[in-house]
Amino acid sequence: MKLSNKESIWQVRNSYLGVYVHFPYCFKKCDYCDFYSEGIGAAPANDEKSLFQSYKKEILDRANHFPEIRKRTIDTVFFGGGTPSKASAKHWKELLDFLRSEFSFSDNPEISIEVNPEDLSSELLAEYNSIGINRVNVGVQTLEKKGLEFLGRHYDEVRYHSLVEVLTNSPIQRVGIDLMYGIPGVAKESFLSDLSLFLNANLPHLSLYSLTLEKGTQYSRDVSDKKKGEPEENLQSEILTQLPNILKEHGYLWYEVSNYAKPGFESLHNLKYWTYEPYLGIGPGAHGMIAGHRYGNPRNANLYQKKETSNKYGMIDPSTELSLTLFRLFSPFRYLDFIETYLDSKTKSKYLKTIEGWEKKGLCSIENEVFQWKPEALLLLDDLILEISL
């Protein structure tokens, strides 16, 4: 996939497979979160063992339904959630062993896990390293206590204070964090000071998101009831436009709207979502995309374990998929390669015409069949994506 050690140029890949596994439990359900997750406190989940058995069953069921995935090579595995660091490393190791016994793996697959600050310790990272996990991402969001309170996140003061040091000394090289901005009550300076702490620690991957209001969350109910303010959108646009330069000065590549990495440290698993590569989604609330079809699992751990694996698969519209995913990339990609592989001739000409229009307006560059957004496109991105998808 990589063409250079500096800025990668993404292209169509046809023989790989990613695997995403959703662990749905967290210490506490955060107010803004619309992932399928349940807060269960500090104790392990009662059904952890049977949940991992159900993961294996689902993997076999999906492979029986789509036998062609056995011909593919797994090059990324992502343990997400929820809070997968709440499950025992032993269970993750057994699941990895199981996947390795059933499928072929690439020589150096990316094996990621999301970790919450309350679970992060040098011992945990050493354990993950010993079982073959080679990428860790920590959902920090903010270091400000009142910001965490606003988000309704669990706050473990000791772990929050030691996290930069633990990550800096990690035996796993590929580490990253998520930070959030536009939280009401958290000043821009406070966000930038959190950010500079991680920039100075030279972490190889940073995901920088704006707080969003999702329907059905506690946060959206609190906003409707006027108990909490909406995300600070003006501040968010201001920060969003400043970030690319700040990150560039520190040697990061801006490879997706909200994601920055040192060269070679991009999340290869998340890139699959943006470059239309197939992946198995396993676990309650997980989604998968295989052979031109999508499926989704029930957002309920009990139901997921009791029910037979769903055989409902929806056909994908490649035009919509490509517009919503590929054009989120800010690193260069071989646009003709994608268009010619996935689109019919009518949609292809519509895409080419729209892209030509963007180039004329100075929103993107096109060189040797390689497309790249210019920073000018950033604040217009939602509208531009809509333009190409209609």
Q: Is residue 139 a contact residue for ligand SF4 (CB under 6 A)? A: yes
Task: Please state the closest distance from residue 223 (CB atom) to ligand SF4, in A.
Answer: 17
Q: Please state whether the peptide bond connecting residue 41 to the residue before it is cis, i.e. omega within 30 degrees of 0.
A: no
Residue from the set 19, 21, 26, 388 that interacts with ligand SF4 by CB under 6 A: 26
Among the residue ranges 29-37, 211-219, 299-307, 354-362, the one whose residues contact ligand SF4 (CB under 6 A): 29-37
- Establish how many alpha carbons lie within 13 A of residue 379's alpha carbon, considering only the half-sphere containing its beta carbon: 12
Q: Is residue 363 a contact residue for ligand SF4 (CB under 6 A)? A: no
How many residues bind ligand SF4, per CB under 6 A? 11
Binding mask 34-73 vs ligand SF4 (x if CB under 6 A, - otherwise)?
-x-x------------------------------------
Among the residue ranges 41-49, 81-89, 206-214, 306-314, the one whose residues contact ligand SF4 (CB under 6 A): 81-89
Three-class DSSP category at 259 = strand
The closest alpha carbon to 111, from 79, 143, 85, belongs to 79
Question: What's the CA gap between 32 and 285, in Å, rounded?
Answer: 17
**Phi, psi dihedrals of residue 156, rounded to the nearest 5°:** -110, 100
Three-class DSSP category at 222 = helix
Q: Is residue 83 a contact residue for ligand SF4 (CB under 6 A)? A: yes
- Altogether, the residues listed in the chain come to a count of 390
Amino acid present at 252: Y
CB 239 within 8 A of CB 258: no
Question: What's the CA gap between 38 and 301, in Å, rounded?
Answer: 9
Among the residue ranges 31-39, 125-133, 244-252, 373-381, the one whose residues contact ligand SF4 (CB under 6 A): 31-39
Residue from the set 9, 21, 33, 175 that interacts with ligand SF4 by CB under 6 A: 33
- Residue 190, Cβ neighbours under 10 Å: how many? 17
Among the residue ranges 11-19, 76-84, 85-93, 323-331, the one whose residues contact ligand SF4 (CB under 6 A): 76-84
Contacts (Cβ under 8 Å, ≥6 apart) of 202? 168, 262
Q: Is residue 81 a contact residue for ligand SF4 (CB under 6 A)? A: yes
Q: Which is nearer to ligand SF4, 116 or 236 (CB)?
A: 116
Residue from the set 8, 116, 210, 270 that interacts with ligand SF4 by CB under 6 A: 116
Which parts of this chain interact with ligand SF4 (CB under 6 A)? 26, 29-30, 33, 35, 37, 81-83, 116, 139
